[in-house]
């Protein structure tokens, strides 16, 4: 059963909206974190499927997204320290739900920007999780420091709450050009119905503000600067799944570079799937049935093991 809830942030009283998909005899919790310029309701069907097998599933609208962003400003996390405030808010919601259902095992799921959020959570609170699923990982650009300087200049010129035209050109617009399609946001998936649903959704496809981009770059820097000796997640299971046809990345090279970084950071139990049929949104694409089955199998396998 799905119920909706709110959490009032202790940092600035931002109201975050989240949903719980519960189960009468849940054995573990699954925390699902959506990507950039989308929202939690897109994951309802997948959350229902996971929950039906005996899990409490949390989906939430991050700062600047969905219902949360609709009440403040889409694409805007916070006046200051937006990335870490977002991370701490998510963890507070997670802990509340764990306590409510007396659960001590949580699996982390993050898609696209949500995978960067998930990696930040693993870096700072790795003990909280027994396993992790990362999909549609964005390529971490070189020279993030230089990009931040440029974005700060644009913020000074045009305002922190103004949508960043440069970021849109470097991301969504560039991915569509690489895909060679006239259909807006066709880079997301081969499944045209999924793309149409995204384009018709008022909470999808918006542009991050200048301050929002800076927060996202902070998040990328956060996950890059992670030492193996500080890794509290370490040898627990991690499954990474990406689409070979994803125009936002250059697979398999990009995922190989990501794996090298993760292993250097002390993540030693990684399974990787590069789906040959899919683009960016692998769990909504043409091979979703197969990948959803693999996701359910992964979740069931890790919860049959004792918490390490």
Q: Is the pLDDT of residue 308 over 80?
A: no
* pLDDT tens string 242-281: 999 998 888 888 999 999 999 999 999 999 999 999 999 9
The model's pTM: 0.96
Reported confidence tier of residue 71, pLDDT bands at 50, 70, 90: confident
Distance CA 62, CA 77 (A): 8
Can you tell me the distance from the alpha carbon of 252 to that of 81, in angstroms, rounded to the nearest whole number? 34
**Domain parsing of the chain, residue ranges:** 2-303
Closest CA to 266 of 296, 232, 289: 232
Model confidence at 215: pLDDT above 70: yes
pLDDT of residue 306: 52
The string of pLDDT tens digits covering residues 176-205 is 998 887 889 999 999 999 999 999 999 999
The pLDDT value recorded for residue 305 is 62
Residue (of 121, 131, 137, 132) closest to 36 by Cα position: 137
> Coil, helix or strand for 58?
strand
CATH number of 2-303: 3.40.50.1820
Sign for the CA dihedral angle at 42, 300, 25, 110 comes to negative
Burial class (CB in 10 A: 0-12, 13-18, 19+), 7: middle
């Amino acid at each position: 059963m799905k119920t909706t809830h709110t959490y009032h942030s202790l940092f600035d009283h931002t109201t975050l909206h989240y949903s719980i998909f519960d189960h009468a005899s849940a054995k573990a919790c699954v925390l699902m974190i959506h990507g950039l310029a989308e929202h939690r309701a897109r994951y309802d069907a997948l959350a229902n499927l996971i929950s039906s097998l005996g899990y409490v599933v949390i989906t939430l609208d991050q700062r600047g997204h969905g219902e949360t962003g609709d009440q403040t400003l889409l694409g805007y996390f916070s006046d200051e320290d937006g990335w870490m405030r977002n991370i701490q808010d998510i963890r507070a919601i997670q802990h509340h739900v764990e306590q409510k259902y007396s659960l001590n095992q949580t699996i982390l799921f993050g898609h696209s920007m949500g995978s960067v959020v998930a990696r930040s959570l693993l870096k700072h609170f790795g003990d909280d999780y027994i396993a992790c699923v990362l999909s549609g990982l964005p390529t971490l650009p070189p020279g993030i420091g230089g990009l931040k300087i440029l974005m700060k200049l644009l913020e000074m010129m045009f305002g922190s709450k103004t949508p960043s035209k440069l970021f849109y050109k470097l991301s969504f617009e560039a991915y569509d050009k690489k895909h060679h399609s006239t259909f807006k946001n066709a880079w997301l998936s081969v499944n045209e119905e999924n793309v149409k649903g995204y384009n018709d959704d008022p909470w999808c496809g918006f542009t991050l503000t200048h301050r929002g981009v800076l927060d996202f770059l902070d998040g990328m820097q956060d996950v890059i600067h992670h030492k193996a000796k500080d890794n509290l997640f370490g040898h627990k299971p991690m499954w990474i799944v990406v689409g070979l046809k994803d125009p936002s990345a250059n697979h398999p090279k990009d995922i190989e570079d990501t794996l090298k970084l993760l292993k250097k950071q002390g993540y030693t139990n990684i399974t990787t799937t590069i789906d040959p049929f899919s683009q960016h949104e692998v769990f909504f694409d043409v091979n979703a049935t197969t990948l959803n089955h693999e996701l359910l199998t992964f979740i069931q396998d890790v919860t049959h093991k004792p918490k390490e």
